[in-house]
């Protein structure tokens, strides 16, 4: 059955999947939009540079398991959104509207397209992280059916140089995947094997062990200025703290990660250790939600992967006339 989104347009504005020749413009749009709203509220922009934002947009738009949504007019991107559909929970973001085009309903337009897509794929839950200072986006997400589930602290820093991990921390190997899959299910209530497998070739996640058994793991990726941790899951806050300390011992750069308010002891340790609070975010969910039972770091998209097999989709997205045909839920395009 063809989706209504295939021909969705407002006047001459149309939503399409991202074509390769739109990546540069979309990356600049994302950088400027996030920078604009952060500086207006006195916060530090999340993206270091337009180049980094462009790298991120290019990566997401080509990665298997993501679908892009671009509102265009005259061939130029006005707003962008992405859906991570690598598992049974869909993740949203980054969502951005060009600075000069804000206040015209474009944010709602790309959000409704993404939610319609997720519904067509059969997802029962859609989740996102929202910057708490952005009252406009919070209001929009509430109107679209999202509920606030947890306050999230975005942190940057390094643990004290003389503090050592209590338990052994090492890089994961392919032999650990089954154990990490079980740990995800135990702590989070869902599996994340596909996401971990995708991370392995670039930078293996870290694993913490007690008595020879995994009790926590953390994925990581790097930028020129920082090492980002997450998503992560651990049986308790002590195990997650060991992962943070272990990560710091492997790289000289600052660490950046997000921690939920449900990890109060770990947050107090981070502040005593000199970590800076960059901003507070809100974990929001639309549909079903099961609170984790251990310590964790949410994904930027909060998109758990139960397996590397993508969910079949009943809908498709129109492709721009100058680009390739658009992928559906079962086709990767980063």
Q: Is residue 326 part of a domain?
A: no
Reported as half-sphere exposure (CB side, CA atoms, 13 A), residue 2 has a value of 5
Q: Is residue 74 part of a domain?
A: yes
Q: Which residues contact 297 (CB under 8 A, 6 or more apart)?
A: 218, 229, 230, 231, 232, 233, 240, 257, 258, 259, 260
* Domain shared by 169 and 291, yes or no: yes
- pLDDT at site 329: 31
C-alpha to C-alpha distance for 270 and 331, rounded to whole angstroms: 40
Alpha-carbon distances of 75 from 18, 25, 30, 253, 314, rounded to whole Å: 11, 11, 17, 40, 27
- pLDDT at site 75: 85
pLDDT tens, residue by residue, 144-189: 999 999 999 999 999 999 999 999 999 999 999 999 989 998 998 8
Q: Is residue 265 part of a domain?
A: yes
* Domain shared by 16 and 109, yes or no: yes
Q: Is residue 253 part of a domain?
A: yes
Q: Is residue 322 part of a domain?
A: no
Contact between 213 and 317 (Cβ < 8 Å): no
- List the CATH number of the domain containing 118: 3.40.630.30
163 burial (CB, 10 Å; 0-12 / 13-18 / 19+) is middle
94 upstream amide cis, omega within 30 of 0: yes
What's the domain range around 82? 4-123
Which residue in this structure is represented by tokens 């011992």? 249
DSSP, residue by residue, 115-134: HHHHHHTT-SEEEEEEETT-
User: Of 123, 146, 180, which one is at a domain's C-terminal end?
Assistant: 123
- pLDDT at site 321: 35
- pLDDT at site 11: 55
- pLDDT at site 313: 58
| Alpha helices, H only, 5-49 | 23-40
Alpha-carbon distances of 60 from 20, 53, 55, 57, 80, rounded to whole Å: 12, 11, 9, 5, 12
Residues of the chain with pLDDT under 50: 1-10, 302-312, 314-334
Contact between 111 and 75 (Cβ < 8 Å): no
* Domain shared by 106 and 209, yes or no: no
pLDDT tens, residue by residue, 95-119: 999 999 999 999 999 999 999 999 9
- pLDDT at site 302: 44
Q: Which two tokens stand for residue 228?
A: 């980002």
* Domain shared by 180 and 103, yes or no: no
Q: Is residue 144 part of a domain?
A: no
Q: Which residues contact 33 (CB under 8 A, 6 or more apart)?
A: 96, 97, 98, 99, 102
- What's the CA angle centered on 58, arms 138 and 154, to 5 degrees? 40
* Domain shared by 111 and 167, yes or no: no
Q: Is residue 323 part of a domain?
A: no
Q: Is residue 41 part of a domain?
A: yes
- Please count the structural domains in the chain: 2
- pLDDT at site 301: 52
User: Of 123, 147, 178, which one is at a domain's C-terminal end?
Assistant: 123
């Amino acid at each position: 059955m063809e989706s209504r989104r295939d021909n969705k347009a407002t006047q001459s504005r149309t939503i399409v999947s991202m074509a390769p020749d739109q990546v540069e413009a979309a990356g600049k749009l994302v950088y400027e939009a996030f920078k604009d709203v952060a500086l207006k509220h006195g916060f530090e922009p999340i993206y270091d540079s337009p180049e980094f934002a462009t790298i991120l947009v290019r990566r997401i738009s080509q990665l298997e398991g993501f679908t892009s949504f671009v509102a265009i007019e005259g061939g130029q991107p006005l707003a962008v959104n992405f859906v991570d559909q690598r598992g049974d929970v869909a993740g949203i973001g980054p969502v951005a509207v060009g600075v000069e085009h804000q206040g015209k309903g474009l944010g709602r337009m790309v959000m409704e397209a993404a939610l319609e897509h997720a519904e067509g794929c059969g997802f029962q839950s859609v989740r996102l992280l929202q910057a708490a200072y952005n009252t406009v986006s919070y209001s929009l997400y509430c109107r679209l059916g999202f509920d606030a589930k947890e306050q999230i602290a975005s942190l940057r820093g390094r643990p004290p140089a003389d503090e050592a991990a209590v338990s052994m921390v090492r890089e994961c190997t392919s032999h650990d995947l089954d154990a990490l899959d079980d740990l995800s299910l135990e702590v989070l209530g869902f599996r994340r094997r596909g996401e971990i497998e995708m991370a392995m070739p670039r930078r293996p996640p870290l694993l913490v062990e007690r008595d020879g058994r995994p009790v926590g793991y953390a994925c990581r990726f790097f930028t020129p200025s920082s090492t980002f941790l997450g998503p992560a899951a651990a049986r308790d806050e002590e195990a997650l703290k060991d992962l943070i300390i272990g990560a710091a011992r492997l790289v000289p750069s600052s660490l950046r990660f997000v921690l939920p308010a449900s990890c109060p002891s770990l947050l107090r340790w981070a502040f005593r250790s000199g970590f800076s609070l960059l901003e507070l975010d809100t974990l929001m969910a639309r549909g079903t939600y099961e609170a984790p039972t251990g310590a964790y770091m949410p994904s930027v998209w909060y998109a758990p992967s139960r397996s590397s097999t993508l969910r079949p989709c009943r809908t498709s997205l129109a492709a721009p006339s100058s680009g390739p045909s658009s992928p559906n839920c079962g086709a990767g395009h980063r």
